[in-house]
């Protein structure tokens, strides 16, 4: 504002006498007014400032973010604030201007949509307090420390919940058609319905009750699932969730392969813990990283998600052998070991396949991998230019390599689930339930 | 559960409760934007920073230009300078005259009695100097006045140019000064009305480029522009001849090239021309600018550094392999990969043994689908394409064929009669037997 006044003086001066006195007096008046305004503006440190945001956020999900300012003086106050919010929180506008009533409180709301996982420290908030004449502002950083944790995105949450609900209904015998998850543990007796299989009729109970009675079973509980999550270099490649019609169009849910693998891991954890099984987690890249012992219950889901939040891609070759040895040490009992990794031909042939027999002797090994939908789309496209035709051939070769990797892993005793990120969690859950109902766990 | 950070500063207990919403400024703030625009936010902030710095830069440049304009000017090599050898200088004709034995002198003040001719290129004379020059003319001197806007010259009635062209002009008179002159070069020159008792040469557009006006015992010869004297036009047509005729004294007298004494000049710089109040106002600009920079220089809000993640597309390897195939011109190899895929899809989806011979395979597939045997032979039997154009046709056909099998052969068998083509551009529909 003071600069604006000085600029106005440029226009006014030619209409005056042009004397140096007028020039000096005009500038002095502006300077005096600015000093008075600065003195009358309260110190930013006196302004009460608070930041409100959930302590736990989830990637790609919007969350409320609020600043609250408290006026410490008995007249209106204009305050600008700028928050030290990292770009990855995607707050849109990290600044706000609030006109505070005398000794009143105002707030400004924003929405953050985190783009990265992990622990984020929020630092100081910078305040600019305007003077009553709006000529000057006093600025200072106010120390307002907060820490928020951003958990990985879980786009398949609804699919997992639906799968769990269905599996539980089937396991409890509410549906009478033959379904997976039927289990072998006897649970109770109930009256026969026409849809029940006749082999389930308990003839002794029927004789006692003088009406047909069937046995119900539940799925076995406390079985072990150990998830081995690869965070090595091959998991850094970014891909969308679904195939797109046009390779140039904006792909939804573009994220590193690791994020999609985490989504599948969380979906499996949700269903398996819901089914009463124990789920553990080991992350690895060049060596073994974080690990969560196998447990059951809803708290285990939280523990695993919190662990996943801090896992970052490490640009090194994954050491499958070290991860498998860790799994063997941690699990003496038979378990379903789910290895979430990439099916790139070289690492599979040179490192993963030779290491699988370590586990497959005692455990059931399942390798799951997110496939790139873009490559799938290229493989199935009808190209119209040479670049597209060669790309189609390259995509087909890539797909053939993945199938070859899957066959190789099958030969050494591992099952393979290879699906695009939108299908991987569901396929993984289905495979788990199939194995469970088949009594192979 | 929420994390609420509170300032370490003492917070005054406010009793005024906040309204249901925030202030208009806060309410108008954008909420989260769609995902595809979020990277643009970062780019937008960068652009805003760039614009801010650009403003400062433009301000500095403007200030520099003002200083240059107001500041004193260099006096060397100026246009119409009789000492300058630049294209716009007048040194050339003086050198010519000296070669011809004329005693030429460049000096201020009035011509001396020993001078026969005086040349006034630009009339910046003060009143005293002008009156001295006028008296010298009255006593018998010859003044060559090259400044058409001089107070000593006659009225201007036009210019020498025709439309936008500037031709050379002819003397069209019998004046002894134009002896041997057929044409002279002019540039942006003016023509004069002919005063009583005067004679004119070089007529153009109802006026004359050169006027001879008797004055006492002497005379003034007025030219319509200084450009004719310049070094750049000296060699054009007969310009040098005319100037030599005009500037050569009749006897052993000398030539005086008059330099203004400075009294008639309005000032040495643009700043000297301005009124005092404008000068003060111009001083106000840098003061306001410094205040603005001081105000804007302080960063509002701390920068937050974040380690940037690795951004690499998972499909980059596939793209690279495709580029390698293309660079190596391996069209047959690429087509072989595509053929293997088509064969594999057909065996899997149609339940045909992959071991069947090619003709049997084609016949079975044609029987179970609406794809013509010719198309199937092109895909499965015929020689593979050897160039890019053939590969494109082959890959396109393969893509449509696989899509057709995927979409229509469920369960096995050809599509029902009357099934419309799914895509008018589909080459399979064009090849379908009617």
Give A-chain residues touching B8 at CB under 8 angstroms: 142-144
Asked if A244 is an interface residue toward chain B (Cβ–Cβ < 8 A), one would say no
B70 band by pLDDT with thresholds 50, 70 and 90: low
Give B-chain residues touching A109 at CB under 8 angstroms: 22, 26, 29
Distance in Å, alpha carbon of A393 to nearest chain B alpha carbon: 5
Give B-chain residues touching A315 at CB under 8 angstroms: 310
Q: With an 8 Å Cβ cutoff, are B4 and A51 in contact?
A: yes
Distance in Å, alpha carbon of B349 to nearest chain A alpha carbon: 15
Partner B, chain A 127-156, Cβ-Cβ below 8 Å = 128, 139, 141-148
Question: pLDDT value at position A254?
Answer: 84
b/e map B397-419, b = 16+ CB within 10 Å: bbbbbbbbbeebbeeeeeeeeee
Give A-chain residues touching B403 at CB under 8 angstroms: 380, 382
Give B-chain residues touching A23 at CB under 8 angstroms: 280, 283-284
Chain A to chain B Cβ contacts (< 8 Å): 314
Asked if A25 is an interface residue toward chain B (Cβ–Cβ < 8 A), one would say no
| pLDDT single digits (tens) B263-302 | 545 545 666 667 777 777 778 788 888 888 887 788 888 8
Lowest mean pLDDT among A67-71, B361-365, B392-396: B361-365
| pLDDT single digits (tens) B102-128 | 888 888 878 888 888 999 988 888 888
Give A-chain residues touching B388 at CB under 8 angstroms: 386, 389
Asked if A35 is an interface residue toward chain B (Cβ–Cβ < 8 A), one would say no
Q: With an 8 Å Cβ cutoff, are A52 and B2 in contact?
A: yes
Question: pLDDT value at position A56?
Answer: 92
Q: With an 8 Å Cβ cutoff, are A126 and B302 in contact?
A: yes
Mutation pick from A117, A371, A394, A424 vs chain B, by most beta carbons of B within 10 Å, is A394
Q: Nearest by CB to B312, from A16, A80, A238: name it.
A: A238
Q: With an 8 Å Cβ cutoff, are A382 and B396 in contact?
A: yes
A57, burial (CB in 10 Å: exposed 0-12, middle 13-18, buried 19+): buried
A-chain residue closest to B334, CA distance: A393
Q: With an 8 Å Cβ cutoff, are A390 and B313 in contact?
A: no
Q: How does pLDDT run along chain A (441 residues), one tens digit per residue?
A: 655 666 666 566 555 555 677 778 878 888 899 899 999 999 999 999 999 999 999 988 899 999 999 999 999 999 999 999 999 899 989 999 999 999 999 999 999 999 888 899 898 999 999 999 888 889 999 988 889 999 999 999 999 999 999 888 776 654 444 443 345 566 678 888 887 778 778 898 899 988 998 887 666 667 899 999 999 998 999 898 877 666 555 666 788 999 999 999 999 999 999 988 999 999 999 888 998 999 988 899 999 999 999 998 888 999 999 888 988 887 788 889 999 999 988 889 888 999 999 888 888 999 999 999 999 889 888 888 999 999 999 999 999 999 999 999 999 989 999 999 999 999 999 999 988 877 777
Give B-chain residues touching A241 at CB under 8 angstroms: none
Give A-chain residues touching B292 at CB under 8 angstroms: 3
Partner B, chain A 295-324, Cβ-Cβ below 8 Å = 313, 315
Question: pLDDT value at position B263?
Answer: 54
Q: Nearest by CB to A386, from B303, B317, B388: name it.
A: B388
Q: What pTM was estimated for this model as a whole?
A: 0.62
Distance in Å, alpha carbon of B19 to nearest chain A alpha carbon: 8
B-chain residue closest to A136, CA distance: B295
Q: Nearest by CB to B392, from A49, A50, A384: name it.
A: A384
Asked if A158 is an interface residue toward chain B (Cβ–Cβ < 8 A), one would say no
Q: With an 8 Å Cβ cutoff, are B9 and A147 in contact?
A: no
Partner B, chain A 84-123, Cβ-Cβ below 8 Å = 84-88, 90, 92-99, 101-113, 115-116, 122-123
Q: Nearest by CB to A54, from B1, B9, B36: name it.
A: B1
Distance CA A392, CA B403 (A): 14
The two structure tokens encoding residue A130: 């305007």
Give A-chain residues touching B319 at CB under 8 angstroms: 391, 394
Q: With an 8 Å Cβ cutoff, are A126 and B300 in contact?
A: yes
Q: With an 8 Å Cβ cutoff, are B6 and A252 in contact?
A: no
Q: With an 8 Å Cβ cutoff, are B25 and A99 in contact?
A: yes
Complex ipTM value: 0.75
């Amino acid at each position: 504002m003071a600069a604006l006044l000085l600029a106005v003086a440029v226009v006014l001066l030619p209409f005056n006498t042009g004397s140096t006195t007028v020039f000096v007096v005009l500038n002095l008046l502006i300077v005096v007014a600015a000093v008075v305004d600065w003195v009358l503006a309260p110190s930013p440190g006196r302004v009460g400032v608070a930041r409100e945001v959930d302590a736990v956020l989830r990637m790609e999900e919007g969350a409320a973010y609020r600043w609250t300012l408290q006026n410490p003086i008995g007249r209106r106050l204009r305050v600008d604030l700028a928050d030290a919010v990292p770009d990855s929180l995607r707050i849109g506008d990290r600044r706000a201007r609030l006109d505070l009533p005398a000794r009143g409180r105002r707030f400004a709301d924003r929405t953050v949509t985190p783009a990265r996982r992990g622990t984020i420290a929020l630092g100081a908030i910078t305040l600019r307090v305007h003077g009553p004449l709006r000529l000057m502002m006093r600025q200072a950083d106010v120390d307002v420390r907060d820490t928020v944790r951003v958990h990985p995105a879980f786009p398949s949450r609804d699919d997992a919940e639906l799968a769990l609900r269905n599996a539980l209904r089937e396991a409890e015998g509410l549906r009478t058609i033959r379904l997976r998850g039927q289990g072998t543990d006897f649970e109770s007796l109930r009256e026969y319905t026409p849809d029940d299989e006749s082999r389930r009729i308990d003839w002794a109970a029927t004789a006692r009750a003088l009406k047909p009675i069937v046995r119900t079973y539940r799925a076995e509980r406390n079985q072990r699932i150990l998830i081995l999550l690869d965070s090595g270099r091959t998991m850094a490649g970014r891909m969308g969730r679904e195939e797109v019609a046009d390779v140039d169009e904006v792909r939804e849910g573009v994220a590193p392969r690791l994020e999609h693998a985490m989504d599948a891991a969380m979906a499996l954890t949700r269903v398996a813990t819901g089914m009463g099984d124990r789920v553990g987690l080991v992350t690895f890249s060049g060596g073994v990283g974080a690990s969560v012992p196998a447990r059951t219950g809803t708290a285990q889901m939280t523990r695993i998600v919190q662990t996943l939040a801090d896992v970052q891609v490490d640009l090194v070759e994954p050491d499958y052998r070290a991860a498998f040895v860790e799994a063997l040490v941690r699990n003496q009992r038979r378990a379903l070991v789910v290895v979430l990794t990439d099916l790139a031909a070289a690492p599979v042939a040179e490192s993963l396949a030779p290491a699988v027999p370590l586990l497959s002797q005692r455990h059931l090994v399942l390798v799951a991998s997110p496939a790139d939908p873009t490559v799938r789309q290229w493989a199935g496209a009808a190209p119209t230019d040479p670049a597209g035709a060669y790309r189609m051939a390259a995509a087909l070769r890539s797909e053939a390599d993945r199938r070859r990797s899957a066959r190789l892993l099958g030969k050494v005793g591992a099952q393979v689930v290879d699906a695009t990120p939108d299908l991987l969690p569901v396929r993984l859950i289905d495979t788990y339930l199939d194995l469970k109902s088949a009594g192979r766990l | 559960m929420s994390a609420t950070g509170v300032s370490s500063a003492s917070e005054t207990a406010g009793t005024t409760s906040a309204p249901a919403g925030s202030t208009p400024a806060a309410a108008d703030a954008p909420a989260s934007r769609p995902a595809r625009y979020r990277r643009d936010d970062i780019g937008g902030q960068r652009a805003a920073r760039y614009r801010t710095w650009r403003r400062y830069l433009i301000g500095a440049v403007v200030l520099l230009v003002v200083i240059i304009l107001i500041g004193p000017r260099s006096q060397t090599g100026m246009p119409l300078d009789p000492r300058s050898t630049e294209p716009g200088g007048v040194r050339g004709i003086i050198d010519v005259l000296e070669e011809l034995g004329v005693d030429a002198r460049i000096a201020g003040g009035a011509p001396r009695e020993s001078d026969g001719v005086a040349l006034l290129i630009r009339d910046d004379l003060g009143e005293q100097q002008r009156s001295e020059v006028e008296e010298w003319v009255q006593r018998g001197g010859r003044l060559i006045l090259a400044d058409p806007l001089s107070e000593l010259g006659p009225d201007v009635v036009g210019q020498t140019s025709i439309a936008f062209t500037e031709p050379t002009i002819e003397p069209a008179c019998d004046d002894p000064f134009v002896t041997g002159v057929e044409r002279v070069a002019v540039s942006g020159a003016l023509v004069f009305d002919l005063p009583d008792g005067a004679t004119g040469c070089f007529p153009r557009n109802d006026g004359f480029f050169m006027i001879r006006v008797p004055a006492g015992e002497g005379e003034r010869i007025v030219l319509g522009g200084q450009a004719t004297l310049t070094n750049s036009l000296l060699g054009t047509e007969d310009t040098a001849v005319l100037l030599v005729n005009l500037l050569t004294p009749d006897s052993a007298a000398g030539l005086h090239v008059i330099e203004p004494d400075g009294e008639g000049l309005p000032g040495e710089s643009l700043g000297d021309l301005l009124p005092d109040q404008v000068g003060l106002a111009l001083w106000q600009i840098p003061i306001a600018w410094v205040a603005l920079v001081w105000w804007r220089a302080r960063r509002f809000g701390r920068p937050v550094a974040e380690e940037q993640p690795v951004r690499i597309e998972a499909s980059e390897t596939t793209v690279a392999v495709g580029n390698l195939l293309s660079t190596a011109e391996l069209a047959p190899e690429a087509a072989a990969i595509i053929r293997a895929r088509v064969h594999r899809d057909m065996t899997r989806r149609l339940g045909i043994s992959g071991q069947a011979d090619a003709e049997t395979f084609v016949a079975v597939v044609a029987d179970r689908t609406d794809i013509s045997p010719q198309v199937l032979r092109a895909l499965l039997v015929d020689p593979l394409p050897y160039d890019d154009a053939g590969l494109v046709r082959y890959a396109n056909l393969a893509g449509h064929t696989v899509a057709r099998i995927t979409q229509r052969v469920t369960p096995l068998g050809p599509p029902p009669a009357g099934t419309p083509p799914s895509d008018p551009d589909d080459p399979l529909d064009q090849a379908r037997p009617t």
